[in-house]
């Protein structure tokens, strides 16, 4: 009788000595499950609105917004695939085998790496727009941004393969029992390629942007400025506003990513798939939900675009040419 009861608590009852126990659902766990599910749905929906907005309205298809579009795609897949996968791993046993376990982790690592790379691309765009405004329109073209967006995703794929190479070569080597899905990665490599290098580039570029923006702001307040420069000042002011908005995006990105990697720096390792890692990972994934919320608060064009989308006015002929941004 005792053996039968023990078997019912196992992922694989036929493997009494090597099977993992089924995850227990506590009341607090149920609350966490529903909360994470809501965050997943919200992340998917909000980023889908960003994707539709930039893809549909021609006025929004600028070089800066193409980088935002790439970030929105990575955030969208976080909400659609990565978060549900993490929720499932918390609630059930893994029945798909060791090979699919290793393959499964390719998706979240690729998406997270792509998010970091896209943040670097956005920072480079703002740096060029603020520090080299006269050359920006000629140097930063749509085709070049599209090329570098592809490079960001290629970078993410290469980094992910390097991180999971041992797990793909020998699947299941880090599982302590059947029904578990954990992988171990080169923490130093993950720290370097997904945190230290991107964050260093972002911080250096935004420091330079801040210095130039501060000097331009002082120049704009000066009454000595010639009237003939007013038009160029207006352009600079719009660029500065975009830089401030994207600066908020970068700041939130840092706040969401820092705790995860700080834990690694302190403890020396992170077992991917463990409960502690899952909670820290969800904090990192929540950045994908914050980004479109930032757009909603700071970008009038996003609010206007969402209004047209939810009222189905985007289905009307010629809606893609709607004036979303307003006066330039």
SS (H, E, C) the chain: CHHHHHHHCECCCCCCCCECECCCCCHHHHHHHHHHHHHHHHHHHHHHHHHHHHHHCHHHCCHHHHHHHHHHHHHHHHHHHHHHHHHHHHHCCCCCHHHHHHHHCHHHHHHHHHHHHHHHHHHHHHHHHHHCHHHHHHHCCHHHHHHHHHHHHHHHHHHHHHHCHHHHHCCCCCCCCECCCCECCCHHHHHHHHHHHHHHHHHHHHHHHHHHHHHHHHHHHCCCCCHHHHHHHHHHHHHHHHHHHHHHHHHHHHHHHHHHHHHHHHHCCCCECCHHHHHHHHHHHCHHHHHHHHHHHHCHHHHHHHHHHHCCHHHCCCHHHCCCCCCC
pTM recorded for the entire structure: 0.82
Q: What is the pLDDT of residue 308?
A: 92
Mean pLDDT of 109-127: 89
Could you tell me the residue ranges of all domains in the chain? 28-220+230-320
Contact 112, 35 (CB under 8 A): no
pLDDT-based confidence at residue 216 (cuts at 50, 70, 90): low
pLDDT in tens, 87-107: 777 667 888 888 888 888 888
pLDDT in tens, 257-288: 887 777 767 765 555 555 666 677 778 888 88
Mean pLDDT of 147-176: 88
Domain range 28-220+230-320, CATH class: mainly alpha
Closest residue by Cα to residue 262 from 202, 195, 186, 184: 195
Residue 175 burial (CB count, 10 A): 18
pLDDT-based confidence at residue 164 (cuts at 50, 70, 90): confident
Of the listed ranges 159-163, 166-170, 259-263, 304-308, the least confidently predicted one is 259-263
Mean pLDDT of 183-204: 83
Q: What is the pLDDT of residue 234?
A: 41
Per the prediction, the chain carries an average pLDDT of 79
pLDDT in tens, 9-22: 788 777 767 788 87
């Amino acid at each position: 009788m005792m053996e039968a009861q023990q078997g019912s608590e196992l992922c694989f009852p036929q493997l009494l000595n090597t099977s993992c126990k089924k995850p227990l659902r506590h009341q607090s766990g149920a609350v966490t499950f529903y909360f994470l599910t809501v965050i997943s749905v919200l992340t998917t929906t909000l980023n889908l609105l960003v994707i539709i907005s930039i893809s549909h309205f021609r006025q929004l298809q600028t070089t800066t917004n193409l980088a935002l579009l790439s970030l929105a795609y990575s955030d969208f897949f976080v909400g659609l695939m990565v978060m549900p996968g993490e929720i499932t791993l918390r609630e059930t046993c893994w029945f798909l085998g060791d090979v699919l376990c290793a393959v499964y982790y390719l998706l979240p690592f690729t998406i997270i790496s792509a998010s970091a790379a896209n943040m670097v691309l956005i920072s480079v765009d703002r740096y060029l727009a603020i520090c080299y405004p006269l050359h920006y329109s000629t140097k930063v073209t749509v085709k070049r941004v599209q090329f570098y967006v592809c490079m960001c995703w290629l970078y993410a794929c290469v980094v992910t393969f390097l991180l999971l190479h041992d797990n793909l070569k020998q699947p299941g080597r880090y599982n302590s029992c059947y029904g578990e899905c954990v992988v171990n990665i080169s923490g130093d490599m993950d720290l370097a390629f997904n945190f230290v290098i991107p964050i260093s580039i972002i911080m250096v570029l935004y420091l330079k942007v801040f210095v130039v923006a501060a000097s331009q702001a002082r120049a704009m307040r000066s009454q000595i400025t010639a009237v003939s420069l007013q038009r160029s000042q207006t352009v600079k002011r719009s660029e500065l506003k975009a830089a401030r908005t994207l600066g908020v995006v970068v700041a939130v990105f840092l706040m969401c990513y820092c705790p995860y990697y700080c834990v690694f720096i302190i403890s020396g390792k992170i077992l991917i798939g463990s409960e502690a890692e899952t909670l820290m990972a969800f904090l990192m994934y929540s950045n994908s939900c914050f980004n479109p919320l930032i757009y909603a608060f700071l970008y009038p064009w996003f609010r206007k675009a969402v209004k047209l989308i939810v009222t189905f006015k985007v289905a009307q002929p010629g809606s893609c040419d709607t004036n979303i941004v307003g006066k330039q």
